[in-house]
Structure 1
Amino acid sequence: MAVPPTITDVVFDFCGVLVDWQCRAALDGHYPKELVDAIVAPDDPYGFFDYEDRMDGGMLLADILPMVQADHGQDIADVFAYYIAHYGDALPSMVPGMETLLTDLRAAGIRTWGLTNWSSETFHFAFERFPVLQGLLEDTVVSGVERLHKPDAAIYELAQARFGLDPGHTLFLDDTARNVEGARTVGWHALRFHDAAQVRADLEDLHVLEGNEERP
């Protein structure tokens, strides 16, 4: 039987892992339902996710809005600008069980960190909405600030250097498969996140947490 690695550090993605992100929550009640349905659909004709992804890579809203206007007109550009200005409304809650999990990891002597694809102009909403996170994470690397982007190796290597991580003793959790693979390419252990119960069981299997029951 393989001996599990000794994990000293756990690095967390944010959206879909620590915090719930719902684009619709920022737009419902402010724009027609048909328009909101189109924006949040997987085949969104207005490309909100693509514009957000560019902001996650370091572009600023002032650079993006002319693109939206050119592609889809002023009305859609105004919707996108409203969405970014009210981004905190798209963060309705922390992911259930994750505050407790972070607390338990820190109590067990495990260092906890953040590594997120997020715009430099909207990331502040995460800590404003959920200030407990700032206390439970020792530091966070934000793609839009660094102008780097998961799953590129450079952003993991930057986090590794900044946090003082030993890759063989580092575990990364992300809900996106390509980001998990990106972490593995730089030698980190990495797991795809589904929910707090699943990751708690994985951590127990790795002897990072020893049989703790999830508290309410």
Structure 2
Amino acid sequence: MSDAPTTVVFDLGQVLIGWDQTGPLSDRMSREEWKEFAQASDFASLNVSADNGSTIAEVVARAAATDPAYGEIVAAYYENFPRSLTGPIPGMAEIVAELKDAGVRLLGLSNWSAETIHHAPVVAPAIAELEDIVVSGREKLIKPDPAIFALLLDRFGLDPGRTVFVDDLPVNVEAARELGLIGIVFTGAEDLRAELDRLGVIPA
């Protein structure tokens, strides 16, 4: 297909690499205890602020301002961050390798802290096969903000109509589609392979 996509852009977390926020403190907090802490401290907001460019020190200070114990827990979370990474998503390393062998351009676009992103390719080596990654924490822009997609397109000279974007969150995929990218909601390697085959990017 002459008009087949030439570039595939991957989200990282829960697409190429698994993430479980209970992992870093699993030796001292049960899942239920972590859930209670996360709700009380608004850990989701703290995590987003790190993804949006706040330093880890700033995130810890923000948590501690609410409760010093929260600050200690968040500091411990980041000290043990690699334990939140659960390994490669099954089947995805093979898809990355096949796309690369086929000459498809491979990039990443991830909501991730600038200070912890270096752990990702260690745990999921397929990430190191990508040409480059736009990391929200470095850019101080975060999905689904259209600005981070515009930055991606501009930085790498991409034609949105021939660029596939793969993300596990529908809101991010919809934001990509609004800018003309071909968005795929990731539900697993098998379904992704079928979609890429349908688009003429990779054989099933």
Say yes or no: TM over 0.5: yes
Query: Residue 52 of structure 1: which of 43, 47, 53 is its match?
Result: 47
Residue 119 (1) aligns with residue 117 (2): no
Amino acid at match of 2:175: G
Residues 81-101 of structure 1 show CA distances to partners (whole Å, capped at 9, x for unaligned) of 111121111001110000000
Correspondence for 2:61:
66
Query: Residue 197 of structure 1: which of 190, 198, 201 is its match?
Result: 190
The 1:196/1:132 distance shift into structure 2, 3 A limit, reads closer
The 1:192/1:74 distance shift into structure 2, 3 A limit, reads same
**1:63 offset after TM fit, Å?**
1.6
Contact residue 91 and residue 190 of structure 2 kept, 8 A: yes
In 2, Cα distance between the equivalents of 1:117 and 1:167? 20
Name the TM-score, length of structure 2 as normaliser.
0.94
Segments of 5+ residues of structure 2 without an aligned counterpart are none
Correspondence for 2:181:
188
Contact residue 19 and residue 91 of structure 1 kept, 8 A: yes
Mean Cα deviation higher: 23-32 or 99-108: 23-32
**1:38 offset after TM fit, Å?**
2.1
Contact residue 88 and residue 123 of structure 2 kept, 8 A: no
Name the TM-score, length of structure 1 as normaliser.
0.89
**1:4 offset after TM fit, Å?**
9.8
Residues 32-79 of structure 1 show CA distances to partners (whole Å, capped at 9, x for unaligned) of 554224246xxx2221111010110111122222221122x1112111
In 1, Cα distance between the equivalents of 2:181 and 2:37? 35
Query: Residue 138 of structure 1: which of 113, 120, 131 is its match?
Result: 131
Amino acid at match of 2:69: D
Residues 111-143 of structure 1 show CA distances to partners (whole Å, capped at 9, x for unaligned) of 111000001111111123234421x10100000
In 1, Cα distance between the equivalents of 2:149 and 2:40? 32
Residue 128 (1) aligns with residue 122 (2): yes
